[in-house]
Copies of this chain bind each other. A is one copy, B any other.
């Protein structure tokens, strides 16, 4: 059952998602105007503007807004924060395009639409993913994103490390290796922490960096982000094991949770739900240590932690 809190959060998430899509659409138009290859940008836009929930964009924007003056309404949020949110969604979209390739997960659909390599072709899909990664770093480093170059450089380093060989791509590698050699609980948690958790965590960190948060707040945000990221991955596994295919919009059961290296396989359904709740408690405790400039956004982030494990898609 949906609590009133969750209902508020759902509305706010929809608003943030809509604004993120507007920003992304504008960015893709600008890339075309600046001489980008049309078909390439079409493929990038196809896979980025796909009706996603924009969890990463939400975490960027909400974290920044919680810590900044004069961000009471969405219209008060600076354009640069939307750039940062868009950068995370570009990076996430790139990872999904490459994940779906025949040589990777070989997925025919993504959110109910043909995968990028089927809507276009494999070569275009590879290039679209590649160019989305470049675009993410372009968005973080462009002066219009933030007046302080130190913050822009920090945003880049934060995303680069979350995306790379000791982050998302590294987690994908460990996941591929897990197909031939089962991982124990510790290695499974490490793999999933890199594969999914790293980008979620870094989106929270990016919101703090954008707002110029001090080291103390950044430390609390890191705990919040890491716990939310872990809970998010467990929830994904749970959805895969028990979710409703029609709601999620992709073929389920592909992880074959009884045999594969997922936390659900190691902990069982109940154990995984318990672990996710434990992570959410940790996240909320860390968040409670932060005195927000804007209590409303603090509340959204608190609700978000709970939403992570209550979502059904």
Contacts and interface: CB of A to CB of B under 8 A. Distances in A.
Contact of A37 (B36, B156, B161, B173): B173
A104 B130 CA distance: 13
A53 interface: no
A98 interface: yes
Contacts of A170: 35-37, 40, 131
State how many copies of this chain the complex holds.
2
A234 to B, nearest CB: 21
A124 interface: yes
A34 interface: yes
A159 to B, nearest CB: 8
B169 A141 contact: no
A230 interface: no
A79 interface: no
Contact of A152 (B101, B153, B163, B174): B153
A41 interface: yes
B131 A164 contact: yes
Nearest to A28: B165
Contact of A173 (B39, B135, B142, B157): B39
A172 B127 contact: yes
Nearest to A167: B134
Interface in A67-118: 94, 98, 101, 103-104, 117
Contacts of A148: 149
A31 B166 contact: yes
A135 B36 contact: no
B31 A173 contact: no
A122 B103 contact: yes
Interface in A37-54: 37, 39-41, 44
Interface in A204-263: none
Interface in A120-166: 121-124, 126-127, 129-131, 133-135, 137-138, 140-143, 148-150, 152-154, 156-157, 159-161, 163-166
A137 B137 contact: yes
A177 interface: yes
Contact of A104 (B94, B126, B131, B149): B126
Given A103-B122, A104-B126, A123-B104, A169 B40 contact: yes
The 9 closest A-B pairs by CB, nearest first: A134-B164, A103-B122, A36-B165, A138-B160, A37-B173, A141-B156, A37-B170, A131-B169, A149-B150
Given A36-B170, A37-B174, A98-B126, 10 more contacts: A31-B165, A37-B173, A104-B126, A126-B126, A134-B160, A134-B167, A138-B161, A140-B156, A141-B154, A152-B153
15 contacts: A37-B166, A37-B171, A40-B169, A40-B170, A103-B123, A103-B126, A127-B169, A130-B169, A131-B165, A134-B160, A134-B169, A135-B165, A137-B159, A140-B156, A141-B156
